[in-house]
Protein backbone atom coordinates (compact mmCIF):
# COMPACT_ATOMS: atom_id res chain seq x y z
CA UNK A 1 0.00 0.00 0.00
CA UNK A 2 1.79 3.13 -1.28
CA UNK A 3 -0.93 5.79 -1.12
CA UNK A 4 -3.48 6.58 1.59
CA UNK A 5 -6.19 9.23 1.45
CA UNK A 6 -8.27 10.31 4.44
CA UNK A 7 -10.90 12.93 5.25
CA UNK A 8 -10.07 14.68 8.52
CA UNK A 9 -13.40 16.06 9.73
CA UNK A 10 -13.98 18.87 12.22
CA UNK A 11 -15.91 18.69 15.49
CA UNK A 12 -18.31 20.70 17.56
CA UNK A 13 -18.59 20.74 21.33
CA UNK A 14 -22.25 20.22 22.20
CA UNK A 15 -21.60 21.65 25.65
CA UNK A 16 -18.30 22.10 27.47
CA UNK A 17 -17.92 22.44 31.24
CA UNK A 18 -14.64 23.03 33.09
CA UNK A 19 -14.72 21.26 36.46
CA UNK A 20 -11.38 21.93 38.14
CA UNK A 21 -7.67 22.45 37.68
CA UNK A 22 -5.60 19.31 38.16
CA UNK A 23 -2.32 18.89 40.01
CA UNK A 24 -0.57 18.40 36.64
CA UNK A 25 -1.67 21.85 35.47
CA UNK A 26 -4.34 20.57 33.09
CA UNK A 27 -8.09 20.85 33.67
CA UNK A 28 -10.83 18.29 34.15
CA UNK A 29 -13.76 18.92 31.87
CA UNK A 30 -16.95 17.37 30.60
CA UNK A 31 -17.94 17.80 26.96
CA UNK A 32 -19.81 16.17 24.12
CA UNK A 33 -17.76 15.89 20.94
CA UNK A 34 -19.64 15.74 17.65
CA UNK A 35 -17.81 15.04 14.39
CA UNK A 36 -19.22 17.03 11.47
CA UNK A 37 -18.99 16.88 7.68
CA UNK A 38 -16.50 19.73 7.27
CA UNK A 39 -13.21 18.09 6.42
CA UNK A 40 -9.59 18.60 5.48
CA UNK A 41 -8.18 16.25 2.84
CA UNK A 42 -5.07 14.23 3.64
CA UNK A 43 -2.93 12.22 1.23
CA UNK A 44 -0.01 10.15 2.51
CA UNK A 45 2.49 8.22 0.44
CA UNK A 46 5.83 6.54 0.93
CA UNK A 47 8.81 8.81 0.32
CA UNK A 48 12.57 8.98 1.04
CA UNK A 49 11.99 11.41 3.92
CA UNK A 50 9.25 13.11 5.90
CA UNK A 51 7.77 16.12 4.11
CA UNK A 52 4.61 18.16 4.41
CA UNK A 53 2.86 20.14 1.70
CA UNK A 54 0.02 22.15 3.15
CA UNK A 55 -2.39 24.01 0.86
CA UNK A 56 -4.29 27.11 1.94
CA UNK A 57 -2.37 27.36 5.21
CA UNK A 58 0.42 29.62 6.42
CA UNK A 59 1.17 27.45 9.44
CA UNK A 60 4.86 26.71 9.94
CA UNK A 61 5.92 23.10 9.48
CA UNK A 62 7.33 22.91 12.99
CA UNK A 63 3.92 23.86 14.38
CA UNK A 64 1.91 21.41 12.28
CA UNK A 65 0.37 18.60 14.32
CA UNK A 66 0.28 16.27 11.32
CA UNK A 67 4.09 16.36 11.17
CA UNK A 68 4.32 15.91 14.93
CA UNK A 69 2.01 12.90 14.67
CA UNK A 70 4.14 11.29 11.98
CA UNK A 71 7.31 11.76 14.01
CA UNK A 72 5.71 10.41 17.19
CA UNK A 73 4.37 7.30 15.46
CA UNK A 74 7.66 6.58 13.70
CA UNK A 75 9.50 6.96 16.99
CA UNK A 76 7.13 4.49 18.66
CA UNK A 77 7.56 1.99 15.82
CA UNK A 78 11.32 2.47 15.72
CA UNK A 79 11.36 3.32 12.02
CA UNK A 80 12.35 6.41 10.02
CA UNK A 81 9.39 8.73 9.36
CA UNK A 82 9.56 8.28 5.59
CA UNK A 83 6.35 9.74 4.18
CA UNK A 84 5.14 12.62 2.07
CA UNK A 85 2.04 14.26 3.57
CA UNK A 86 -0.20 16.45 1.46
CA UNK A 87 -2.78 18.43 3.44
CA UNK A 88 -5.53 20.47 1.83
CA UNK A 89 -7.08 22.72 4.48
CA UNK A 90 -10.78 23.46 4.44
CA UNK A 91 -11.50 23.65 8.18
CA UNK A 92 -10.52 27.08 9.56
CA UNK A 93 -7.48 27.08 11.83
CA UNK A 94 -7.58 27.95 15.54
CA UNK A 95 -11.37 28.18 15.30
CA UNK A 96 -12.56 25.80 18.02
CA UNK A 97 -13.38 23.12 15.43
CA UNK A 98 -10.45 20.79 16.10
CA UNK A 99 -9.04 20.94 12.58
CA UNK A 100 -5.40 20.47 13.56
CA UNK A 101 -6.27 17.71 16.02
CA UNK A 102 -8.24 15.88 13.35
CA UNK A 103 -5.34 16.23 10.91
CA UNK A 104 -3.03 14.69 13.51
CA UNK A 105 -5.37 11.78 14.30
CA UNK A 106 -5.92 10.93 10.64
CA UNK A 107 -2.19 11.19 9.97
CA UNK A 108 -1.69 8.55 12.68
CA UNK A 109 -4.41 6.32 11.22
CA UNK A 110 -3.17 6.77 7.67
CA UNK A 111 0.46 6.07 8.50
CA UNK A 112 -0.43 2.93 10.45
CA UNK A 113 -1.88 1.65 7.17
CA UNK A 114 0.92 3.05 5.01
CA UNK A 115 3.76 1.73 7.14
CA UNK A 116 1.94 -1.45 8.16
CA UNK A 117 3.36 -0.96 11.64
CA UNK A 118 2.03 -3.21 14.40
CA UNK A 119 0.60 -1.04 17.16
CA UNK A 120 -1.96 -1.71 19.86
CA UNK A 121 -5.01 0.59 19.90
CA UNK A 122 -4.13 1.64 23.46
CA UNK A 123 -0.64 2.73 22.34
CA UNK A 124 -2.11 4.72 19.45
CA UNK A 125 -4.48 6.42 21.90
CA UNK A 126 -1.57 7.33 24.18
CA UNK A 127 0.35 8.87 21.28
CA UNK A 128 -2.76 10.82 20.30
CA UNK A 129 -3.28 12.09 23.87
CA UNK A 130 0.30 13.38 24.01
CA UNK A 131 -0.31 15.37 20.83
CA UNK A 132 -3.40 17.12 22.22
CA UNK A 133 -6.51 16.61 24.30
CA UNK A 134 -8.85 16.54 21.28
CA UNK A 135 -6.75 14.16 19.18
CA UNK A 136 -7.93 10.83 20.72
CA UNK A 137 -11.55 11.65 19.87
CA UNK A 138 -10.74 11.84 16.17
CA UNK A 139 -9.33 8.30 16.14
CA UNK A 140 -12.92 7.09 16.35
CA UNK A 141 -15.03 10.21 15.72
CA UNK A 142 -18.81 10.13 15.72
CA UNK A 143 -20.39 11.34 18.95
CA UNK A 144 -18.75 10.91 22.35
CA UNK A 145 -18.82 12.14 25.93
CA UNK A 146 -15.33 13.36 26.84
CA UNK A 147 -14.22 13.52 30.48
CA UNK A 148 -10.94 13.92 32.34
CA UNK A 149 -8.87 16.19 30.10
CA UNK A 150 -11.21 15.22 27.26
CA UNK A 151 -9.32 12.02 26.45
CA UNK A 152 -11.59 9.61 28.35
CA UNK A 153 -14.31 8.88 25.80
CA UNK A 154 -17.70 7.16 25.90
CA UNK A 155 -19.53 6.68 22.60
CA UNK A 156 -23.01 8.16 22.28
CA UNK A 157 -25.87 7.93 19.77
CA UNK A 158 -25.56 10.63 17.11
CA UNK A 159 -28.30 13.28 17.14
CA UNK A 160 -30.51 13.60 14.08
CA UNK A 161 -30.07 17.25 13.20
CA UNK A 162 -28.06 19.67 11.13
CA UNK A 163 -25.71 22.41 12.28
CA UNK A 164 -25.07 25.85 10.87
CA UNK A 165 -21.42 26.47 11.75
CA UNK A 166 -20.14 30.04 11.82
CA UNK A 167 -16.38 30.63 11.89
CA UNK A 168 -15.66 34.38 12.08
CA UNK A 169 -12.21 35.69 11.20
CA UNK A 170 -11.16 36.52 14.75
CA UNK A 171 -7.56 35.73 15.62
CA UNK A 172 -6.65 35.51 19.33
CA UNK A 173 -2.98 34.94 20.27
CA UNK A 174 -2.48 32.01 22.68
CA UNK A 175 -6.26 31.69 22.71
CA UNK A 176 -6.84 28.57 24.81
CA UNK A 177 -4.19 29.44 27.38
CA UNK A 178 -5.52 32.97 27.70
CA UNK A 179 -9.12 31.79 28.10
CA UNK A 180 -8.20 29.32 30.83
CA UNK A 181 -6.28 32.12 32.58
CA UNK A 182 -9.36 34.35 32.55
CA UNK A 183 -11.80 31.80 33.97
CA UNK A 184 -13.37 32.89 37.27
CA UNK A 185 -15.28 30.78 39.83
CA UNK A 186 -18.59 31.55 38.12
CA UNK A 187 -17.33 29.90 34.91
CA UNK A 188 -16.61 26.58 36.63
CA UNK A 189 -19.32 23.95 37.10
CA UNK A 190 -19.89 20.34 38.15
CA UNK A 191 -20.54 18.76 34.75
CA UNK A 192 -24.22 18.14 35.43
CA UNK A 193 -25.47 20.16 32.47
CA UNK A 194 -23.47 18.12 29.97
CA UNK A 195 -24.51 14.92 31.75
CA UNK A 196 -28.17 15.87 31.21
CA UNK A 197 -27.49 16.25 27.48
CA UNK A 198 -25.68 12.90 27.49
CA UNK A 199 -28.73 11.28 29.09
CA UNK A 200 -30.98 12.76 26.39
CA UNK A 201 -28.85 11.31 23.62
CA UNK A 202 -28.71 7.92 25.33
CA UNK A 203 -32.53 7.95 25.47
CA UNK A 204 -32.82 8.86 21.78
CA UNK A 205 -34.12 12.35 22.51
CA UNK A 206 -33.19 15.42 20.42
CA UNK A 207 -30.54 17.87 21.57
CA UNK A 208 -31.70 20.47 24.07
CA UNK A 209 -30.11 23.78 22.96
CA UNK A 210 -30.36 25.18 26.50
CA UNK A 211 -27.86 22.53 27.64
CA UNK A 212 -25.14 23.54 25.14
CA UNK A 213 -23.27 25.62 27.71
CA UNK A 214 -19.61 26.56 27.31
CA UNK A 215 -17.29 27.57 30.14
CA UNK A 216 -15.28 29.86 27.85
CA UNK A 217 -18.20 31.95 26.56
CA UNK A 218 -17.86 34.86 29.00
CA UNK A 219 -14.07 35.07 28.81
CA UNK A 220 -14.13 34.92 25.01
CA UNK A 221 -16.49 37.88 24.79
CA UNK A 222 -14.19 39.73 27.20
CA UNK A 223 -11.12 39.41 24.99
CA UNK A 224 -12.91 39.38 21.61
CA UNK A 225 -15.75 41.94 21.59
CA UNK A 226 -16.62 41.02 17.99
CA UNK A 227 -18.06 37.77 19.36
CA UNK A 228 -20.63 39.81 21.26
CA UNK A 229 -21.45 41.71 18.05
CA UNK A 230 -22.03 38.35 16.34
CA UNK A 231 -24.59 37.43 19.00
CA UNK A 232 -26.25 40.83 18.68
CA UNK A 233 -26.53 40.44 14.91
CA UNK A 234 -27.92 36.93 15.33
CA UNK A 235 -30.65 38.16 17.70
CA UNK A 236 -31.50 40.97 15.30
CA UNK A 237 -32.15 38.25 12.72
CA UNK A 238 -34.36 36.27 15.09
CA UNK A 239 -31.68 33.70 15.99
CA UNK A 240 -31.46 33.25 19.75
CA UNK A 241 -29.61 29.95 20.30
CA UNK A 242 -26.03 30.57 19.15
CA UNK A 243 -23.55 28.19 20.80
CA UNK A 244 -19.78 28.32 21.20
CA UNK A 245 -17.62 25.39 20.07
CA UNK A 246 -14.44 24.64 22.02
CA UNK A 247 -12.48 27.79 22.78
CA UNK A 248 -14.02 29.50 19.76
CA UNK A 249 -14.40 31.76 18.02
CA UNK A 250 -16.62 29.39 15.99
CA UNK A 251 -20.29 29.13 16.93
CA UNK A 252 -23.11 26.94 15.73
CA UNK A 253 -26.88 26.76 15.52
CA UNK A 254 -28.76 23.47 15.95
CA UNK A 255 -31.44 23.26 13.28
CA UNK A 256 -33.22 20.00 12.31
CA UNK A 257 -35.35 21.71 9.63
CA UNK A 258 -33.32 21.73 6.36
CA UNK A 259 -35.08 24.74 4.85
CA UNK A 260 -34.70 26.84 7.99
CA UNK A 261 -31.03 25.75 8.26
CA UNK A 262 -30.40 27.09 4.74
CA UNK A 263 -32.05 30.41 5.66
CA UNK A 264 -29.98 30.68 8.85
CA UNK A 265 -26.78 29.96 6.94
CA UNK A 266 -27.68 32.67 4.42
CA UNK A 267 -28.32 35.14 7.25
CA UNK A 268 -24.93 34.51 8.82
CA UNK A 269 -23.15 34.76 5.47
CA UNK A 270 -24.64 38.24 5.18
CA UNK A 271 -23.80 39.06 8.82
CA UNK A 272 -20.12 38.11 8.36
CA UNK A 273 -19.84 39.96 5.07
CA UNK A 274 -16.89 37.86 3.92
CA UNK A 275 -15.11 38.07 7.28
CA UNK A 276 -15.31 34.36 7.99
CA UNK A 277 -16.89 31.10 6.87
CA UNK A 278 -20.39 29.65 7.22
CA UNK A 279 -21.04 25.97 6.60
CA UNK A 280 -24.19 23.89 6.79
CA UNK A 281 -23.01 20.57 8.26
CA UNK A 282 -24.47 17.17 9.01
CA UNK A 283 -23.15 15.11 11.93
CA UNK A 284 -20.87 12.19 11.07
CA UNK A 285 -22.33 8.86 12.20
CA UNK A 286 -19.87 6.10 13.11
CA UNK A 287 -20.34 2.51 14.14
- Report pLDDT for 252: 98
Tell me if residue 175 is catalytic. Answer: no
Instruction: Report the predicted TM-score, pTM, of the whole model to 2 decimal places.
Output: 0.95
Which among 200, 191, 192, 97 has a CA at the least distance from the CA of 157?
A: 200
Helix boundaries (H) for 116-152:
121-131, 135-140
pLDDT tens, 118-158?
999 999 999 999 999 999 999 999 999 999 999 999 999 99
- Report pLDDT for 2: 85
Which among 9, 274, 41 has a CA at the least distance from the CA of 163?
A: 9
225 SS3 class:
helix
The list of the chain residues with pLDDT below 70 reads 1, 56-63
- Report pLDDT for 117: 85
**Which residue in 40, 103, 134, 175 is the catalytic one?**
134
Tell me if residue 134 is catalytic. Answer: yes
- Report pLDDT for 26: 84
**Which residue in 11, 89, 103, 175 is the catalytic one?**
11
pLDDT tens, 60-85?
555 689 999 999 999 999 999 999 99
- Report pLDDT for 11: 98
DSSP line for 62-116: GG-HHHHHHHHHHHHHTS---EEEEEE--SPTTSSS-HHHHHHHHHHHHHHHHHT
Domains of the chain in start order, with CATH, are 3-155 (3.30.230.10), 163-281 (3.30.70.890)
Amino acid sequence: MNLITRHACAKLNLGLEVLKKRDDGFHDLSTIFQEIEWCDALTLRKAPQLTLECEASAIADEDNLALAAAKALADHLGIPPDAAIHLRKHVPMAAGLGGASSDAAHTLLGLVDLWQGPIAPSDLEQIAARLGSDVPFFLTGGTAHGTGTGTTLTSLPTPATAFVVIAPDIMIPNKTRELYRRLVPGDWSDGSTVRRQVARLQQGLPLDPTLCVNAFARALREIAPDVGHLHDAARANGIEDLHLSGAGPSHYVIEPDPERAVRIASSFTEILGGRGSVNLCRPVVRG
